[in-house]
A and B are shown apart, each in its own frame.
Chain A
Amino acid sequence: MSITRLTRRSLLAAGTALTMALGAPAFAQTPPNVLVVGQIAEPKALDPAAVTAVNDFRILMNVYDGLVRYKDGTLEVEPALATDWEISEDGTEYTFSLRDGVKFHDGSPFDAEAVKFNFDRMLDESHPYYDTGPFPLSFFFSAIEEVEVVDPMTVKFVLNEPYAPFLSNLAYPTGLIVSPAAVEEHGSEFGRNPSGTGPFKFAEWRPNEAVVVEANPDYWDGAPQLEAVVFRPITDASTRTAEMLAGGIDLMVEVPPVALSQFQGDSYRLYEQAGPHLWFLILNAKEGPFADKLVRQAANYAINKEAIVNEVLEGTAEVAAGPTPPAFAWAYNEDLEPYPYDPEKARELIAEAGADGAELTFYVTEGGSGMLDPVAMGTAIQADLQAVGFDVTIETYEWNTFLGEVNPGLEGKADMAEMAWMTNDPDTLPFLALRSEAFPDQGGFNSGYYSNPEVDKLLEQARRATDQDERARLYKEMQEIVHEDAPWVFVANWKQNAVTNDRVENFDLQPSFFLLLDDVAKN
């Protein structure tokens, strides 16, 4: 009879367990003044110099400050840890006055030595803490020749050539300032024991569960409203949605388009913000049908971007007009109109170029950062191109493999490929992906081999100009030429979205896609 008894006993145990679970209070409420954020992945490290993922930046921007930061709601820089700066005539020397009386969370003072330590650690291979890397994005600052401590509260950056994006690169998370004392204390473990000057102090990291940060009451820009923020990694989008619906998190980023309808009621608030993102098709301008400008323009006319943005992406993106996203308001050319959807016009251009029935190989990725819904978008694009008489074959690759195929250039392999970029300065994308000197064999990302001396000249000039109005004029001219030359099919600018429940106040998304929580309140 032993088995019967065992079964009875185990049934009893199971029953007890169930009753205990049922009897427990409903799992709903998160505590007041503590914001629980649903993140998309476990962070790699909380060392701003060592990470590359937007997911990690969302935490870092709340723990650290940079010398400069983006003005609320824009992509223009304003003072942060630096109160003021001067740029030399030739654009190669930047002198910053630093904010007085700021302390790192570990109590050590913020000064010019600390700034120098930060950039030397990333850039100087002989620096004693260079081995706390690797620092994958240190090339953002490769223009820095030397960092000089002028006096305790003044620091000078000497560049090896004029480099206009320098200030916005300083506002990027890679430029956030860490505490030298904490790096010295923790060495390669600094990424798990971070210390900055930001509105929140690091409190606890429970691997695969949560990163907890607490309010910094001494924050130089005013103490935050919240007592603490909990960042929970929830990699599965459906589970993240379920957590939001069940009340397990207060704020959710990257809501899948299909889940948006779940959050229409009064108990949720939906946020949207177009960012510095461009989703485009690289066209192979070196060989095959797209070597002809008319055929490249035809592709731009043939693809129904409105349908992709509204049907495939459920309105989570806007139709792109040119190579520069509108989020860079100061550098964006307002006069540019997206290529209209006009299959008739496309057929005419194709006939004129004699490219009827051309066979196209189209590289599509399965996923990847900023790629939105690449398979569905690729299929829609294929159908549109077939409709105007092309014969399109799709080849699909997993993201890392895809980059390995596309970045070395499309020559001899494909006529077109999907791509997306998210940048922090209007210089970055065109400079790295549209210049003749950015062909893949020269270390750039111009995988479609577009080349126009006029564009090259404008981009070089813009990089050397230190006056923002002058830069803006050059970028606007560049956009007009590139729009006409159509080296890419300009498809979409992604709008980042987020949902909060009705207990969260004063939250807003930024065009930089950073998550800034210092003014947020929750009851």
Chain B
Amino acid sequence: MGGYILRRLLSAVPVLLGITVIVFLIMALIPGDPATAILGSYATPENVARINRELGLDAPLWRQYLIWLGNMLQGDFGQSFALNRPVLDEVLERFGATLILAGTAFVLCALLGIVAGTVSAANQYGWADKTITFAVLLGISIPSFFLGMMMILLFAVRLRWFPVSGMWPIYGARDAAALISHLAMPALALAVVATGVVARLSRSALLEVLRQDFIRTARAKGVHERSVIWRHALRAAMVSILPVLGIQAGFVLSGAVYIEIVFQWPGIGRMLVDAILRRDILLVQGGVVFVAVCYVFFNIVVDVAQSLLDPRIRT
């Protein structure tokens, strides 16, 4: 097991190096530079050259890359010039906010999805199955940002049950209740599509398992039906549901970008969008590399979890 994990970790190194090269090149090659973004209408060639010099962007590309990579390996991600603070501070703070949002949405989609899928499969073609299938189809079809805006209009503007945007109240205590009231709408909006996907796949995974011999055996020896479904069948089906959850974790994380903009959640997706528009090179690069590291790490964790459930994968 230890050897397997080590192999997976080692294979991630070239992937991450490749990502640093790609993100660096993309930021270097897209038209428009930070100086133009800072100066706007006042971007004369003379002013642009002055700002580039002061930001250290006049060195050759390969040198800029090596300096950046070298600093990063020592834990120095540089300074965001648009926000005037260390990139790492900003990224960590923003990533924390995204984790809270995406994490909540992930837990919601996993729980609701699996339960809905299981109930659906257990009552195949019954009314519960039909209702759930319909709801799931609806959920998958609504773009999350649109759903988010509708939720704001109904629950925040009209009913005033929840605040419109942000993560914490501007005044007042920063306690769990405050966080939950700010988190409820964005997390739900973010979870809806993923819940649909998880529900559909859990349903089909479970249906497949329910046709197998050991289920018939269990039923034949008189195991309670509830136990058959929730204990025997679901457990076997989890092997094919888990990788879907891994993919949905990625989906929820990337889908958070839209939700973070609509609900002004101070997460890393919104940070990256703002940073790209402002050509905040170091912040974009640092943010992307950080997210990439997390993705690679999540993938390894999912693979390891899967290999624990199904030892055949480990070879």
Contacts and interface: CB of A to CB of B under 8 A. Distances in A.
Interface of A: 1, 3-4, 7, 10, 17-18, 20-22, 24, 26-28, 30-31, 34, 36, 41-42, 44-45, 50, 52, 133-134, 136-137, 139, 191-192, 207-210, 230, 232-236, 238-239, 242-243, 245-248, 368-370, 397-401, 403-404, 407-408, 419-422, 440, 443-445
A398 B32 contact: yes
Contacts of A50: 84
Contact of B163 (A27, A397, A422): A27
A52 B42 CA distance: 10
Given A7-B115, A52-B40, A403-B32, A246 B264 contact: no
Contacts of A407: 43-45
Contact of B41 (A31, A248, A421): A421
Q: B36, B55, B149 — which one has the most chain A CB atoms within 10 A of its CB?
A: B36
Given A137-B42, A248-B164, A400 B180 contact: no
Q: A52, A235, A246 — which one has the most chain B CB atoms within 10 A of its CB?
A: A246
Per CB-CB distance, the 10 closest pairs between chain A and chain B, nearest first, are A400-B32, A208-B266, A401-B31, A134-B54, A26-B160, A27-B163, A45-B84, A21-B181, A245-B157, A243-B164
Contacts of A191: 84
A248 B163 CA distance: 8
A50 to B, nearest CB: 8
Contact of A239 (B46, B84, B161, B264): B264
Interface in B221-269: 226-227, 230-231, 234, 261-264, 266
A420 to B, nearest CB: 8
Interface of B: 30-33, 36-47, 50-51, 54-55, 82-85, 90, 93-94, 111, 115, 149, 152-153, 156-157, 160-168, 170-171, 177, 180-181, 184, 226-227, 230-231, 234, 261-264, 266, 270-271, 274, 279
Contacts of A45: 84
Contacts of A10: 111
Contacts of B47: 136, 139
Q: A26, A45, A232, A403 — which one has the most chain B CB atoms within 10 A of its CB?
A: A403
Given A17-B184, A41-B274, A44-B84, A36 B111 contact: no
Given A209-B266, A239-B152, 7 more contacts: A18-B184, A136-B39, A235-B274, A400-B33, A400-B36, A403-B32, A403-B43
Contacts of A42: 83, 274
Q: B40, B167, B270 — which one has the most chain A CB atoms within 10 A of its CB?
A: B40
A248 B115 CA distance: 37
B262 A27 contact: no
A27 B170 contact: no
24 contacts: A1-B226, A3-B231, A3-B234, A4-B226, A21-B177, A26-B161, A31-B171, A34-B171, A45-B84, A137-B42, A139-B42, A191-B84, A207-B266, A208-B271, A230-B170, A239-B152, A239-B261, A239-B262, A246-B164, A397-B31, A398-B31, A400-B31, A403-B32, A403-B41
